[in-house]
Amino acid sequence: MNPFEEMRIFAQVMESGSFTAAADKLGLSKQFVSRKLMELEQRLGVRLLNRSTRRLDVTPLGQRYYEAALRLLSEVEQVEQGISGQTSEPRGTIRLSAPLSFAVAHLGCLLPQFLQRYRDVSVEVDLSDRSVDLLGEGYDLALRIGVLEDSTLIARRIASIERVYCASPAYLAENGTPARPEDLRNHDCLPYGHSRQVQWRFEGNGKPLVLEVAGRMRANNGDLLRDAAIAGMGITYLPTFILGEALKDGRLVKLLEGFETEPLALSAVYPQHRQASRPVQALVEFLREQML
């Protein structure tokens, strides 16, 4: 077996989490996959995986080999596609990470349209609000909202995400309606995140204001905070794609209009070795087309 085939087997074991699952995806026997991984380790003279009856743990050298293998396999795939003259439709599988609430609001309708357009592409979607390690965890593409950390990843802006302050009519009837950001010091707030100190930033009157807010509940999921606001638990500040229906039917009321900060950016980020991936670029362009 050539080194590239060994790389493919090792990469699939890493992504699947077990020899059995990797063997099923590759159409090979578990014994064959296990033997080839042992032969690879013997050839390299290092241990790539620590095996136990319950799990596989990658070693530091195994992680380095995996990340390098992903880059090399991607380059080989691109060369093969170019040599074969594949100039028609993209084909292949995209491993996509996306924020939970955004994906539920938008991707449920957009991804079927994308897959209808590109019949030879498949998508594996992982929904999580955490910032995944694209290289280390084997993702081809991630959607992220907000300021991006400096990295070697390539970023493409997809759309703008607006946020609004809001509360339920019942909460406002009992506690009053804030007229200025400073009034929030006398209100229960429902901030996003787990940090004990949460700051909301306000614009307006030409002067930015940063205000520390507090309340009896905080969470790292916007849907949960929206429902808490509807139940009268306090004031929250969330993207409109989470609040849309509740604002339309009056369960929530916009507050402090004119003090909102600039919209957040929804970006597609991907590793440099995926820059020439035709399925990845097709999905990025499709999302920009649909959402800009």
- pLDDT tens digits along 62-71: 888 988 888 8
Give pLDDT, residue 285: 93
State both tokens at 153.
């990843």
More confident residue, 196 or 28: 28
- The alpha carbon of 147 is separated from its chain's Cα centroid by a whole number of angstroms, namely 14
What CA–CA distance (Å, rounded) separates 102 from 204? 27
**Contact indicator for 187, 175 with CB cutoff of 8 Å:** yes
Give pLDDT, residue 55: 75
Which DSSP helix (H) or strand (E) runs through 76?
A: helix 60-83
Q: What percent of the chain has pLDDT over 90?
A: 42
Give pLDDT, residue 84: 53
What CA–CA distance (Å, rounded) separates 66 from 157? 29
Average pLDDT over residues 136-161: 84
What CA–CA distance (Å, rounded) separates 15 from 219? 30
What CA–CA distance (Å, rounded) separates 146 from 262? 11
- pLDDT tens digits along 87-118: 567 888 899 999 998 999 899 999 999 999 99
- pTM of the complete model: 0.68
Average pLDDT over residues 139-149: 87
pLDDT of residue 258 exceeding 90? no
Vertex 87 angle, CA 268 and 73, to 5°:
60
Which DSSP helix (H) or strand (E) runs through 126?
A: strand 121-127
More confident residue, 25 or 101: 101
Average pLDDT over residues 50-57: 78
Lowest mean pLDDT among 79-88, 190-199, 258-267: 79-88
Give pLDDT, residue 53: 65
Give pLDDT, residue 98: 94
Q: What confidence tier does 82 reach under pLDDT thresholds 50, 70, 90?
A: low
What CA–CA distance (Å, rounded) separates 73 from 257? 51
Give pLDDT, residue 253: 96
pLDDT of residue 193 exceeding 90? no
Give pLDDT, residue 88: 60
More confident residue, 93 or 147: 93
Q: What confidence tier does 22 reach under pLDDT thresholds 50, 70, 90?
A: confident
**Contact indicator for 239, 143 with CB cutoff of 8 Å:** no
Give pLDDT, residue 86: 52
**Contact indicator for 78, 140 with CB cutoff of 8 Å:** no
Coil vs helix vs strand at 261: coil
Q: Which residues contact 85 (CB under 8 A, 6 or more apart)?
A: none
**Contact indicator for 97, 132 with CB cutoff of 8 Å:** yes
- pLDDT tens digits along 158-175: 999 999 999 999 999 999
